[in-house]
Amino acid sequence: MNLILLGPPGAGKGTQAQMIAESNHVPQISTGDILRKAVKDGTPLGKKARGFMDQGKLVPDEVVIGIIDERLREPDCHTGFILDGFPRTTSQAEALQSILPKIGKSIDHVINIEVDTEELVRRLTGRRTCKNCGAMFHILFHPPRQEGICDRCGGPLYQREDDKEETIRVRLNEYQRQTAPLIAYYQLKKLLRPVRGVGGEKEIFERIVRLLNTTRPS
């Protein structure tokens, strides 16, 4: 199954993508994770992306399109994949549309996780990320067993530069301006599957599983 997860920053895309990936044994392809790793490793890609990311702006289309084009050709994508955080602009969606037939693939569903803005701000400001493995926690809703320490790997937790309040506003604006139009785009292609993103992680995951079990791919 080939899926796209769509939704505003803080909707829980990453968490859900990871859960679906694990249960379906397919890779989770997160452009955000790939870019953060590049920044951490100080690669040329990371150097290009860093400034945009720290400000909450989108990284230029050609940069992320290149990443995805390469990644989708890896053999682990043969049985399926979950795109998390890509596409994020209409031109990224159009680029994907032209890459897929070249590699003999198509998208089955676009899952749109819906959460209102106030809730997003609340979630994002409390978010903490593991410096080591990327696992995410929330100081109120999903605290680690030990403050500041990752449950999964023991690494240190930190607040992403782009999870600070002013930057969050920029990210939400970027989302409205650049990414929200993709909802109509995929609706028109009859691929859009809305899911309410309020509730516990498991609850939302079950909504997605139910939806995937009952909706035929187009």
Residue 127 appears among annotated catalytic residues: yes
Q: Which of residues 145-184 bind Zn ion (CB under 5 A)?
A: 150, 152-153, 155
Given the residues 131, 160, 164, 169, the one annotated as active site: 160
Smaller CB distance to Zn ion: residue 39 or 195? 39
Q: Is 144 in the site for Zn ion (CB under 5 A)?
A: no
CA separation (Å) from 200 to 15, 184, 207?
Answer: 11, 27, 11
Token pair, residue 87, equals 């596409």
Q: Is the peptide bond before 8 cis (omega within 30 degrees of 0)?
A: no
16 burial level (CB within 10 Å; 0-12, 13-18, 19+)? buried
Token pair, residue 2, equals 């080939």
3-state secondary structure of 194: strand
Q: How far is the CB of 131 from Zn ion (least distance, A)?
A: 8
- Please give the residue ranges that form the binding site for ligand ADP (CB under 6 A): 9-10, 31-32, 35, 52-53, 56-59, 64, 85-86, 88, 92, 162, 171
Residue 105 appears among annotated catalytic residues: no
User: Which one of ligand ADP, Zn ion, none is in contact with 3 (Cβ closer than 5 to 8 A by kind)?
Assistant: none
Q: How far is the CB of 143 from Zn ion (least distance, A)?
A: 14
User: CA nearest 58: which of 174, 197, 187?
Assistant: 174
CB 54 within 8 Å of CB 161? yes
Q: How far is the CB of 139 from ligand ADP (least distance, A)?
A: 16
Residues that bind Zn ion (CB under 5 A): 130, 132-133, 135, 150, 152-153, 155
